[in-house]
Structure 1
Amino acid sequence: MRAMPDYGHELEFGIFPSPDSARHRDLIELAQLADVVGLDHVSIQDHPYQAAHLDTWTLLSFIGARTTRIRLSTNVANLPLRPPVGLAKATATLDVLTNGRVELGLGAGAFWDAIEAAGGPRRTPKESVDALVEAMTVIRQFWSGQSSRFDGEHYRTHGLRPGPRPAHDIPIWLGAYKPRMLRITGELADGWVPSMGYADPPALPELSARVDEAARAAGRAPEDVRRIYNIVGRFGTGSGLFQGTPRDWAEQVTDLAVTVGMSTFILGADDPTVVRTWAEEVAPLARELVEEERAAGPRPSEQRAEVGVSSSVASDSTDSTATQQGSRFTAEQLAVPQHLVGIHDGLRAELAQVRDIVRQVQEGHASVGAARSVINTMTMRQNNWTLGAYCESYCRIVTGHHTLEDRSIFPHLLRSDADLEPVITRLHEEHEVVAELLEGLDRALVALVGEPGYGADGQKALAHLGEAVDALANTLLAHLAYEEEALHDPLAEHGFG
């Protein structure tokens, strides 16, 4: 497989659950779990003629109401049964209601017997692609908020006054495999979304190259088109693509990212345990590996393993005796404190989630119960800032292969350097302060229950809630920065133990 460009996009991870009406409660809980554990997307297929499936837009709306941060998408919307004006309005409405969390996947259509049975048109391949291009024009005109007139062969608008405008610029993904669809993706779309089974990894480079060529011909940069990949797999001991351990998966994601340019990975999953493993083990390790690959710079294509053939990423050999310029530590040693920063970045992201859900409560978009549910499931709350739990979580989630058992970082550092006792004491004390501030935030949420939001007591409770989250943010961010600075050299010198 020839090497393809790495477009430099941040990695994103999501799930593609089955919209099975018989297990709708499990499905909603799975989407909420994906939201809480930090995944980026929940994406739903759209087959209105499928009797066993829930309606995609109703389902996405319900999920949007029960989650706080995860993005919602169709994967992909069945255009022949979704008139573009109605589709544009539904998408914009959900985007407004979820504060800009919607992305629209579109497909030209398939399963024409079923579409026709549902009252939709039967189109030839050319007609279906023509209709898709027209629909994209209509949808984007609608989202612009401007009165529009469009005379197409398949869709027409005459003086339509659209609204509402979406809360953000909604990206459009296209599911595309054939040459013309790939060309349109490069010319017009914000994302390309192939699926395993239809486009397995060996086929991706050539398909992606067609998207790139079309983008350049249209005056766009190839990186303007995000590459989304629908995947399936099984955690275990297998050696195939997405068949092994979480580390195998992370290495395969890394290879797809740095050699083919795929940057969003949507996993077909209905099992909560699989979703947790995907979010807590594969995603953070893959992000770390991709960051390391990018920091190391491009490598010759012949040094890379073929995606889907090897279960591990081909990596540069590291000279563990060489020191980085300007540092007394080796690159291997410096990776240890950098791992701490990586975990802290996750805690900072959790803090941003806390602030967002509190803002939604203050603005009346989320319930107190939803906010408490989110906060109670976070790492910073579950671990209660005890170092044993922190270390165990760090080594399980980030590296995937260390086992500390009953050991923890601070005792190890104190055994290695007794002069660190004042630093360790301060960090222990700050952990306790953070835990108290989390409890204070919870109390502020409880105080809101039963208070009218616009009465005097309600306003006082809302103000107290804002003060509580600000106190948490100020203390936590300062603590993380201090810990990273104070422990940088000790961790580089002594490691985690």
Structure 2
Amino acid sequence: MATTRPTPDLGLFLTPEAASYPDLLRQVDAAERGGLDLIGIQDHPYQARFLDTFALIATLLAKTERLRFLPDVASLPLRPPALLAKQAASLDVMSGGRFELGLGAGAFWEGVAAMGGPVRTPGESVDALAEAIAIVRAAWSERSVRFHGDHYTVDGFRPGPPPAHEIGIWIGAIKPRMLRLTGRLADGWLPSSSYVPPSAVPAMTSEIDAAAERAGRDPAAIRRVYNVGGEIADGPVRGLLQGPPEHWVQTLSAFGADLGFDGFLFWPSGGDTVEQIERFAAEVAPAVRAAAA
């Protein structure tokens, strides 16, 4: 029997700028007050301007009661999977089940190497991600974890604590091999409109769906959440996601109905950021939910 898609996730995509930390707190507070669902935060540890994403998520989880958080997406080459699994489970336990794990195979390899991480070819990075997913899932469900791979080896470590809920692993994937891995192994897909325009989505979802079916999985069980940048602005429509609230509602609802997205993380690109978030929460998100229902 096919999986019924749940209510869309509506939330924010944030940049962890250290200089903007007080404003980040105001943005997350606006999302919490406005009834949004999910916050995704970039993870680029080699970026000198950025706070550590996992430390920031821990702080924000402690300051909120409803919102769920995830790295969007975690830089795997700099975060060993056994420790990553423990960090994720710990955040989930401490927040009462409000953490999901976004994972990426790696990017900006010069920065990764400068911090002592491995430099991998595209093929190696996909293989390493598959190994990491196996280790992370085992760490959340088994008493002792052994895994011997080409990129990661763990030899009988005892994981814990167990997560408070079944944490999802969501993948930032663009290229075909990563898309097939998403369909085969992941719980969700996290593309960004800046890299994946709407016109490119159907071919990518076809790759994910076909891989899921080959693996004996229901493609509808894989969440698809779109990071979308733009500005909510009264007056005429000035671009795909540049216009009044009703334009946003129509566009995001069409992305859901026609492209299969289960949710959207808003990345404000103009105007007062807190005001943009308040408008998204009050004037866009409820109507998108209603249209999906």
Identify the TM-score tier after normalising by the shorter chain: over 0.9
- Which residue, 9, 12, 15 being the options, matches 1:12? 9
Indicate conservation of the 8 Å contact 1:6/1:260, yes or no. no
Q: Which residue is equivalent to 2:219?
A: 222
What is the CA distance between 1:29 and its match in structure 2? 2.1
Q: Which residue is equivalent to 1:66?
A: 63
Q: Which residue is equivalent to 2:203?
A: 206
What is the CA distance between 1:95 and its match in structure 2? 0.3
Q: For the residues of structure 1 that align with 2:100 and 2:113, how far apart are their CA atoms?
A: 27
What is the CA distance between 1:145 and its match in structure 2? 3.7
Q: Which residue is equivalent to 1:104?
A: 101
Structure 1: which 5+ runs fail to align?
Answer: 292-497
Q: Which residue is equivalent to 1:272?
A: 274
What is the CA distance between 1:9 and its match in structure 2? 3.3
Q: For the residues of structure 1 that align with 2:168 and 2:107, how far apart are their CA atoms?
A: 22
Indicate conservation of the 8 Å contact 1:6/1:259, yes or no. no
Q: For the residues of structure 2 that align with 1:126 and 1:274, how far apart are their CA atoms?
A: 40
Q: Which has the larger radius of gyration?
A: 1
* Structure 2 letter corresponding to 1:276: E
Q: Which residue is equivalent to 2:243?
A: 244
2:181 maps to 1:184: yes
Aligned residues: 287
What is the CA distance between 1:6 and its match in structure 2? 11
CA distance 1:6–1:200, change in 2 (3 Å): farther
2:162 maps to 1:165: yes
- Structure with higher strand content: 2
Q: Which residue is equivalent to 2:33?
A: 36
Please give the TM-score of this superposition, normalised by the length of structure 2.
0.95
Matched position secondary structure for 2:62 = helix
Q: Cα deviations across residues 324-358 of structure 1 (Å, max 9, x unaligned)? A: xxxxxxxxxxxxxxxxxxxxxxxxxxxxxxxxxxx
Indicate conservation of the 8 Å contact 2:3/2:221, yes or no. no
Matched position secondary structure for 1:232 = strand
Q: How does 1:436-455 map to 2 (within 5 A)?
A: none
Q: How does 1:15-414 map to 2 (within 5 A)?
A: 15-236=12-233, 237-269=236-268, 271-291=273-293
Indicate conservation of the 8 Å contact 1:174/1:189, yes or no. yes
Indicate conservation of the 8 Å contact 2:41/2:71, yes or no. yes
* Structure 2 letter corresponding to 1:8: R
Q: For the residues of structure 2 that align with 1:143 and 1:47, how far apart are their CA atoms?
A: 25
Q: For the residues of structure 2 that align with 1:59 and 1:203, how far apart are their CA atoms?
A: 32
Indicate conservation of the 8 Å contact 1:247/1:282, yes or no. yes
Q: For the residues of structure 1 that align with 2:252 and 2:120, how far apart are their CA atoms?
A: 37
Matched position secondary structure for 1:72 = strand
Q: For the residues of structure 2 that align with 1:275 and 1:165, how far apart are their CA atoms?
A: 34
Matched position secondary structure for 2:231 = coil
Q: Which residue is equivalent to 1:355?
A: none
Deviates more, 1:232-241 or 1:73-82: 232-241
Q: Indicate the structure whose relative CO is greater, using CA pairs within 8 Å and at least 6 residues apart.
A: 2
* Structure 1 letter corresponding to 2:291: L
Q: For the residues of structure 2 that align with 1:211 and 1:27, how far apart are their CA atoms?
A: 33
What is the CA distance between 1:224 and its match in structure 2? 1.1
- Structure with higher helix content: 1
Matched position secondary structure for 1:8 = coil
What is the CA distance between 1:107 and its match in structure 2? 0.3
Q: For the residues of structure 1 that align with 2:286 and 2:96, how far apart are their CA atoms?
A: 26
What is the CA distance between 1:18 and its match in structure 2? 1.6
Q: Cα deviations across residues 194-228 of structure 1 (Å, max 9, x unaligned)? A: 11121100111110111111111100111110101
* Structure 1 letter corresponding to 2:257: V
What is the CA distance between 1:23 and its match in structure 2? 1.6
Indicate conservation of the 8 Å contact 2:232/2:280, yes or no. no
Q: For the residues of structure 1 that align with 2:196 and 2:23, how far apart are their CA atoms?
A: 30
* Structure 1 letter corresponding to 2:42: Q
Indicate conservation of the 8 Å contact 1:145/1:164, yes or no. no
Q: For the residues of structure 2 that align with 1:7 and 1:283, how far apart are their CA atoms?
A: 20
What is the CA distance between 1:8 and its match in structure 2? 3.2
Matched position secondary structure for 2:226 = strand
- What is the identity percentage for the equivalent residue pairs of Structure 1 and Structure 2? 47
Q: Cα deviations across residues 229-249 of structure 1 (Å, max 9, x unaligned)? A: 000011223242111110110
Structure 2: which 5+ runs fail to align?
Answer: none
* Structure 2 letter corresponding to 1:73: L
Q: For the residues of structure 2 that align with 1:79 and 1:16, how far apart are their CA atoms?
A: 19
